[in-house]
């Protein structure tokens, strides 16, 4: 549609209009230069307009801008006391999204085709303030004859761009009026409105980002296995996730805003920590709600804010703690299927072990150090109906005497000391393996006997009785009957453990197991180093001549050492330690002729016997020289000299178990 200008050019006037020189900015002059070749000043064409579904789609995409911009412009126009003017919101492409103002002024703009959906384009409307404001990014004011099109000469428009927090142009705010109704503050007002809308957009963006973070945080807290509570400085509950609500028996919605002390009876330890604004980490506590006691593992974090302090509490459930122990510490891999059964003794032992796995009574494993007692204990656990439960191994000799009761039986949280679950609780539903059970103190022997009989335990410094369901497997290399006679081991506990006793013979009594043990060790090394080891027949024969005082563990160490020093992954006699090569068969050519003798164990030199005695003592005493010297019947200085003489590394025996 083409509309003739209200003020046509006078006859004989120059058909090429000149840019105004009364205060015209360079940007306006440049716009005139662009307009002259493509349009005529006197001819007015209606601007392009988005309508219908297209305009509705644009408004939906710009909903945040419209909601915030409309509120700002309506408030501004109300302050202007119905002055004959219009306020417009344009998007970054120049489309008129919304306008408000005096009815007569809006009608006059509508006559020019400037309505919702119309585009302020320099290509059709000529020089105009919104187009220049979008192009330059700065506030622009164009009035009267500064417009290229004569149809806009009666008007003045002030336009200011709107930017979001990232510096991206989002909109243009326009204030328009007839020249007769203009005001000196119009450009400033348009700029203030643009900045206000920009601030609104920034605040809305921050609020939206905050809400997204809060939603993500709430989703995260609702998805964790721990219960989460938070309360403010007044003790009023501010947050409660579904896990905590289920653990404590609280309603998520109704509990918010109420005092925590009105909802729960908190332990004294927690109340004291709140008063002192101190943190607690993984302490055993018991909550009370509606006469129901709720045990939990608690972590408390203070949130200080000046002279005020709120708190966040994490509740780690007991079953989660047990599952964590099972996953991290309680996994066992050995089974009866992977045990060597070449010897008659091992076949008999595996058969008895499988029978033991079917019951729930305690099992006593007896044998020298290094024979694989813990391996057998793991196999019994994995073959039992407790295989899905935890397997906790405890070396009783490693328990400090002054802390044995707390480590063994656990303790409740008290002032200055966090709670500690007992080993029986950690192994609940599974197996507790007690290595070197003879080192338990008399008090702990009595406690163990009581727990086996009743299935109940009482922690140190506690009056709570805790039911436990644990299978006990005890292991020892000591002569327990002798210790019973010496009153160093409780007779009733020995009889209870002896109800199913398995004796593991030493390796020298089951030499048929040496080849499968060697192959098992080489296969494990091959998987680790991604190669295949070979071993000569003469090496395997030499292994059969050695008495192996350190049993399976000593054999494994010798194989690993030979594998590390061999060439081309082929283990030969030269790769074996010297003490293994000192054993010789009677048929070797360097041996003198001797009369026929009955089968006897191979003879060792006095030096070798002395060296093996020191190794044996080191294994029994775990490398403790103060214990080895009296056991060998020599002084500590003499022992140290002989260790140097035989080039022994005593440190490798410290902490060695069976």
Residue 653 maps to a domain: yes
Residue 253 maps to a domain: yes
Same domain, 520 and 475: no
The CATH number for 483's domain is 3.40.50.300
Residue with more model confidence, 154 or 257: 154
Say yes or no to pLDDT of 320 above 70: no
3-class secondary-structure state, position 244: helix
461 in Cβ contact with 521 (< 8 Å)? no
Confidence at residue 308, expressed as pLDDT on a 0 to 100 scale: 85
Tell me how far apart the alpha carbons of residues 339 and 342 are, in angstroms, rounded to a whole number.
Answer: 9
Comparing CA positions, the residue from 37, 41, 52 lying closest to residue 13 is 41
Tell me how far apart the alpha carbons of residues 651 and 649 are, in angstroms, rounded to a whole number.
Answer: 5
Domain that holds residue 583: 506-588
The CATH number for 160's domain is 3.30.450.40
Same domain, 267 and 338: no
Say yes or no to pLDDT of 276 above 80: yes
Same domain, 375 and 470: yes
**Mean of pLDDT values over 465-488:** 92
Residue 338 maps to a domain: yes
**Mean of pLDDT values over 527-555:** 90
Tokens 């995409």 correspond to what residue? 61
Scored b (16 or more CB within 10 A) or e, 428-446 reads bebbbbbbbbbbbeeebbe
Residue 211 maps to a domain: no
pTM for the full predicted model: 0.48
Q: Dump pLDDT digits (tens) for 107-132.
A: 999 999 999 999 999 999 999 999 99
Same domain, 527 and 624: no
Same domain, 129 and 180: yes
46-50, 263-267, 497-501: least confidently modelled range: 263-267
Confidence at residue 433, expressed as pLDDT on a 0 to 100 scale: 94
Instruction: Give the domain-ending residue among 565, 588, 611.
Output: 588
Cα atoms in the 13 Å half-sphere on the side-chain side of 584: 9
Tokens 């002192």 correspond to what residue? 276
Residue 328 maps to a domain: yes
Q: Dump pLDDT digits (tens) for 489-503.
A: 999 999 999 889 999
Instruction: Give the domain-ending residue among 146, 177, 206.
Output: 206
Same domain, 62 and 168: yes
Residue 239 maps to a domain: yes
What are the CB-based long-range contacts (under 8 Å, 24+) for 215-223? none
Residue 216 maps to a domain: no
Same domain, 307 and 336: no
Confidence at residue 6, expressed as pLDDT on a 0 to 100 scale: 35
Same domain, 397 and 527: no
Same domain, 121 and 15: yes
Which residues on neighbouring strands pair with residue 536, listed in sequence order? none
The CATH number for 638's domain is 1.10.10
Confidence at residue 152, expressed as pLDDT on a 0 to 100 scale: 95
Instruction: Give the domain-ending residue among 505, 521, 548.
Output: 505
Q: Is 284 exposed, middle or buried (0-12, 13-18, 19+ CB in 10 A)?
A: buried
Same domain, 517 and 623: no
The CATH number for 237's domain is 3.30.450.20
Same domain, 510 and 493: no
Same domain, 20 and 73: yes
Residue 59 maps to a domain: yes
3-class secondary-structure state, position 386: coil
**Mean of pLDDT values over 357-385:** 92
pLDDT band at 40 (very low <50, low <70, confident <90, very high): very high
3-state percent helix, strand, coil for the chain, nearest multiple of 5? 45, 20, 35
The number of domains in the chain is 5
Segments of 93-154 assigned E as strands: 96-101, 140-143
């Amino acid at each position: 549609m083409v509309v003739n200008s209200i003020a046509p050019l006078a006859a004989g006037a120059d058909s090429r209009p000149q840019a105004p020189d009364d205060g015209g900015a360079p940007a306006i002059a440049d716009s005139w230069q662009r307009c002259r070749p493509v349009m005529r000043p006197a001819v007015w064409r209606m601007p392009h307009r988005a309508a219908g579904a297209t305009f509705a789609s644009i408004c939906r995409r710009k909903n945040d801008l419209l909601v915030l911009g409309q509120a700002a412009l309506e408030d501004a126009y109300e302050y202007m006391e119905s002055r004959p003017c219009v306020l417009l919101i344009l998007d970054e492409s120049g489309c008129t999204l919304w306008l408000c103002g005096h009815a007569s002024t809006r009608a006059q703009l509508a006559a020019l085709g400037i309505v919702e959906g119309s585009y302020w384009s320099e290509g059709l409307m000529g020089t105009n303030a919104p187009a220049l404001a979008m192009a330059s990014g700065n506030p622009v004011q164009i009035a009267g004859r500064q417009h290229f099109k004569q149809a806009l000469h009666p008007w003045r428009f002030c336009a200011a761009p709107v930017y979001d927090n990232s510096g991206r142009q989002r909109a243009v705010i326009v204030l328009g009026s007839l020249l007769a109704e203009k005001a000196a503050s119009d450009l400033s007002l348009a700029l203030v409105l643009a900045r206000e809308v920009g601030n609104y957009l920034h605040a809305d963006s921050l609020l939206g980002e905050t809400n997204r973070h809060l939603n993500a945080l709430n989703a995260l807290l609702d998805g964790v296995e721990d219960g989460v509570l938070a309360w403010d400085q007044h003790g009023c509950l501010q947050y409660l996730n579904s896990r905590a609500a289920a653990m404590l028996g609280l309603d998520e919605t109704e509990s918010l805003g109420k005092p925590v002390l009105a909802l729960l009876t908190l332990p004294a330890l927690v109340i004291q920590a709140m008063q002192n604004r101190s943190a607690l980490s993984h302490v055993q506590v018991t909550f009370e709600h509606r006469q129901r006691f709720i045990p939990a593992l608690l972590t408390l974090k203070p949130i200080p804010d000046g002279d005020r302090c709120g708190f966040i509490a994490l509740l780690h459930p007991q079953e989660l703690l047990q599952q964590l122990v099972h996953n991290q510490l309680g996994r066992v891999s050995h089974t009866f299927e992977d045990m060597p059964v070449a010897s008659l003794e091992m076949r008999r032992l595996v058969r008895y072990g499988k029978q033991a796995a079917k019951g729930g009574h305690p099992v006593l494993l007896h044998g020298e150090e290094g024979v694989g007692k813990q391996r057998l204990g793991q196999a019994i656990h994995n073959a039992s109906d407790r295989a899905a439960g935890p397997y906790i191994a405890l070396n009783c000799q490693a328990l400090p005497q002054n802390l044995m009761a707390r480590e063994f039986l656990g303790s409740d949280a008290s002032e200055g000391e966090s709670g500690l679950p007992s080993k029986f609780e950690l192994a609940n539903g599974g197996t507790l393996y007690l290595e070197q059970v003879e080192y338990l103190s008399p008090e702990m022997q009595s406690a163990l006997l009581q727990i086996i009989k009743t299935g109940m335990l009482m922690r140190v410094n506690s009056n709570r009785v805790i039911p436990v369901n644990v299978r006990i497997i005890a292991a020892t290399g000591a002569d327990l009957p002798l210790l019973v006679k010496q009153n160093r081991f409780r007779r009733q506990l020995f009889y209870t453990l002896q109800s199913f006793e398995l004796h593991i013979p030493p390796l020298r009594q089951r030499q048929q197991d040496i080849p499968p043990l060697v192959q098992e060790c080489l296969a494990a090394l091959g998987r680790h180093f991604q190669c295949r080891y070979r071993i000569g027949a003469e090496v395997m024969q030499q292994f059969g001549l050695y008495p192996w005082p350190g049993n399976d563990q000593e054999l494994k160490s010798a194989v690993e050492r030979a594998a590390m020093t061999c060439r081309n992954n082929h283990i030969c006699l030269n790769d074996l330690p010297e003490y293994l090569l000192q054993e010789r068969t009677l048929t070797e050519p360097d041996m003198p002729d001797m009369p026929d003798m009955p089968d006897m164990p191979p003879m060792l030199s006095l030096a070798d016997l002395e060296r093996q005695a020191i190794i044996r003592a080191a294994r029994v005493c775990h490398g403790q020289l103060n214990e080895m010297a009296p056991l060998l019947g020599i002084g500590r200085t003499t022992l140290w000299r002989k260790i140097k003489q035989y080039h022994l590394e005593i440190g490798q025996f410290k902490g060695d178990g069976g």
